[in-house]
Amino acid sequence: MQLPVHRMITRLYLLRVRGREPAPGVRAEQPDRMRAAAVDLAFCATLAGLTGRRRKLHVLLGVAAAYHVACWSISGRTLGGVVVRERVVAVDGSTPSLGQAVIRLLASPIAWALQRPVHDEVAGTDVIVEEG
């Protein structure tokens, strides 16, 4: 129990002290982020289609939510991120926590509507380009 609490407090402290700049890597550009999102949407739609159920919207939403939260909190990368060489990182450069991944997912519709990465600001995350 102590370790997750310690990580959360450290991340909040770093966010307050350091702010959003400099990012822990080169920020990904919007067109690349959209390409990654398209790959992830196609993958989630394929998984939802494999269930064979008539009403697939709620299945698609469930698959997409579980997929994104799991990928972001385990490795920081989804399939789309692997394809376009992007990774989600916390403000300290580490893999986002489960809580950050959930907050990022819940704030994604707002970011989509505003056409700016509000979900990253709220969750204390950033999307960076992988080097190499």
- What are the tens digits of pLDDT across the range 18-66? 665 555 678 889 899 999 999 999 999 998 888 776 777 888 899 999 9
The first and second tokens of residue 6, run together, are 């310690």
pLDDT value, residue 15: 67
**From CA 20, how far away is CA 50, in angstroms rounded?**
40
At 102 the three-state DSSP class reads helix
pTM of model > 0.85: no
What are the structural domain ranges in the chain? 27-129
Contact yes or no for 90/125 (Cβ under 8 A): yes
